[in-house]
Structure 1
Amino acid sequence: MGVVVHLWGLDGKPSIISPESVALFWLLNDIKTNSEITVVFSNNTDLSPNQELPILINGSKTICGFSSIVSTLCPSNSALESALLQFAQDQIGALTQYQLYLNRNNYDGFTRKIFACLLEWPLWYNTPLKNRSLARQRCETLGYFSHPDDQDHVDFNVDQVDDLVQSKAYKLTKASKARKEELLKSARFNLQFMNRLSDQLQSWLEARDKLEARDQVEPRDQLLAADYLVWANLFIQLELPDGELVREHLNRTLGKERFQEVVERCKKLSEAGSQLEQREPSFTERGNAAMSVYYALRRMVAL
């Protein structure tokens, strides 16, 4: 039995809902391995012990996460390479989670909707809420603004008039003020995100240049697993509804030439045809309510 890799994706392509799925799909198409690899876009996190994709299954062995999978397929002996990968995963990856789940325009305009294509009901409704909560924990240092699906958020209904407390006109004024305050908070946190993104990316690029100088290779000739992960994160951020704002900011802060190199690399990888064998997920591999209950019961029994 060959190696099977499960990713987030649809119609033969990885979904930009998952930077690790995009990065691994790109990397697998570029490298040569001793194993026959089959890609399955199952969109089913229940297959994973840590409830995340991607995963690699080889017989009875399951490997979870981008870094663990690439360490198995193409191990590196360089501590700096490992540090670059960890930085990309922890720091830049957290910022992509912010854009996907905590940026209101992106979340309402894209993230919520794409899960309806990737999953069946009720998973397509619950999964983005769960991921949003996890993203909030990862991005707590960025700050957070209220959103209609937060437990502590209360929508103001202008039709519910409490004449004993305040007039309808006062309530309307209060609601308008609250909306303006929320927009200001959103703008402030998004600006904070932009600054963090350019700072973190600049730090990563400087470390990447030091590695190239140490190895005495031509710039960007030696590709690392960390490169694919950074490109995938940036590709996703540029594809989201607020992607043009990210594009303008990075073009200004990184410099037009350096930023254009990254954009061209992302474009080339995203448009390249896949050389990997693919198959449809089986019923037990597919994310659906029945199998979700089954895997939940298995986890309970294992406790």
Structure 2
Amino acid sequence: MVDYELHVWGCDKSISVVFPECLAAAWLVTTCIPHEKINIVTSSNTNLSKTGVLPVLLTKDVSYEGFGPISSFILSEFSGKNVIETKDLAQSAVISLIENKLVRVHQFNLYSNLKNYEGYTRKQFKKYLPFPMMYNQPLKLYNVAQDQVRMAGLLPSPPGLFGVFSGSSGPHDEVDEETSEVALSALHERQMTAKSNKRELLRQSKNSLKCLNYLGEILDDIVKLNHQLNPHRPDDTFALIFNESKISVAELLLFAYIHSLTYDGLPDHAIHDYIRLKYSSFADFSQTKINELNQLLDDSAIQPPNSSQVPNLINEVRYRLGY
């Protein structure tokens, strides 16, 4: 008998890489809850959540929204048999590092990096949502990501009175200071285009290097913590940080973000290559754990939404009317 239903972003039996918290929540429930008691539904329907955020865990009486509340409930109900709880300051520090810093790298990689945004992220919403929501949702997330990435210092603030708060309406709206120049001939137009493309490439390269340095600072802290809590390990060895045999909530969330950042389906592999080159032991161990956790998902009850859970126009109207 199914007692719990976890709703996540995704399509059919595939959980979205765009939303790491959904993947982390799916790993958590399949690790802690007997498979016959849990369904994972790739509904991509934020109306099922009071806060408009997925993942959401539905029980008979209460819903839990977001990875933090879901993990707290699961570990209280199932006593952390396979996952250790977030009780000490070190675990809380890692979660804070992920939620306040690593998430900005994730936003940069999937939204501010136009190669990834145009070549992967935006296309995924055509799988998750029907017309016309498939256009509005990625643009809304793009604008939120741009503002937050700018506030983290990974992108320059746009010109204007309000700086980082001036917003943006799309990935191609940043106007170059020389775009007002008028082409005098076909040759001049080609030269202007080539010059503009070169400036844009240099700008993107500069921003990407800044993001990699920011990521490096985060991973340095995680590797340092691993050595501090496990001094018996060789310096070039990475393993579970808080317990030799049980994964922690913090590590589930960490590996979900690493999986997204290094996903093979992304057109730009700069972050994947950077982590592999500079943090090879961490990269190897992370990939091993990610494979193990994904194997649990292969055996679990992932299913598409039923007709009332699909985020289409008819259900949207019903939701707005309170049905």
The answer to whether TM tops 0.5 is yes
CA deviation string 1:5-48 (max 9, x = no partner):
10112232311111111111122222247993221111111222
Contact 1:148 1:154 in 2 (8 A): no
Query: What amino acid maps onto 2:43 in structure 1?
Result: S
How far apart in 2 are the matches of 1:10 and 1:287? 12
TM-superposed CA distance for 1:261, in Å, is: 1.5
How far apart in 1 are the matches of 2:239 and 2:184? 66
Match of 2:276 among 229, 247, 251: 251
Please say if 1:195 is aligned against 2:213: yes
Q: Which residue of 2 aligns with 1:301?
A: none
Q: Report which stretch shifted further, 193-202 or 74-83.
A: 74-83
Change (3 A) 1:168 1:212: same
Q: Which residue of 2 aligns with 1:80?
A: 90
Contact 1:42 1:286 in 2 (8 A): yes
Change (3 A) 1:144 1:102: farther
Q: Which residue of 1 aligns with 2:25?
A: 24
TM-superposed CA distance for 1:88, in Å, is: 1.6
Note the aligned Cα RMSD (angstroms). Answer: 3.1
Contact 2:21 2:256 in 1 (8 A): yes
Query: What amino acid maps onto 1:38 in structure 2?
Result: N
Contact 1:84 1:207 in 2 (8 A): no
Q: Which residue of 1 aligns with 2:101?
A: 91
Gaps of 5+ in 2: 76-84, 159-167, 233-237
Query: What amino acid maps onto 1:61 in structure 2?
Result: V
Q: Report which stretch shifted further, 30-39 or 282-291.
A: 30-39
Match of 2:192 among 158, 171, 174: 174
TM-superposed CA distance for 1:296, in Å, is: 4.8
TM-superposed CA distance for 1:244, in Å, is: 3.1
Query: What amino acid maps onto 1:143 in structure 2?
Result: L
Residues 14-163 of structure 1: pairs in structure 2 closer than 5 A: 14-32=15-33, 36-74=37-75, 75-140=85-150, 141-143=153-155, 149-150=170-171, 152-153=173-174
Query: What amino acid maps onto 2:170 in structure 1?
Result: D
How far apart in 2 are the matches of 1:260 and 1:151? 37
CA deviation string 1:81-127 (max 9, x = no partner):
22222222221122112111111111111111111111111111111
CA deviation string 1:228-263 (max 9, x = no partner):
111111111211424532232112322x23321122
CA deviation string 1:169-224 (max 9, x = no partner):
4444323222211111111111111111121122123234444569xxx9522311
How far apart in 1 are the matches of 2:119 and 2:281? 30
Change (3 A) 1:257 1:80: closer
How far apart in 2 are the matches of 1:32 and 1:281? 20
How far apart in 1 are the matches of 2:107 and 2:38? 28
How far apart in 1 are the matches of 2:157 and 2:104? 17
For these two proteins, the number of residue pairs brought into alignment is: 288
Contact 1:23 1:232 in 2 (8 A): yes
Gaps of 5+ in 1: 299-303
How far apart in 2 are the matches of 1:242 and 1:196? 21
CA deviation string 1:261-282 (max 9, x = no partner):
1222223323445443344323
Partner secondary structure for residue 290 of structure 1: helix
Q: Which residue of 2 aligns with 1:280?
A: 304
Partner secondary structure for residue 26 of structure 1: helix
Q: Report which stretch shifted further, 128-137 or 284-293.
A: 284-293
TM-superposed CA distance for 1:297, in Å, is: 5.8
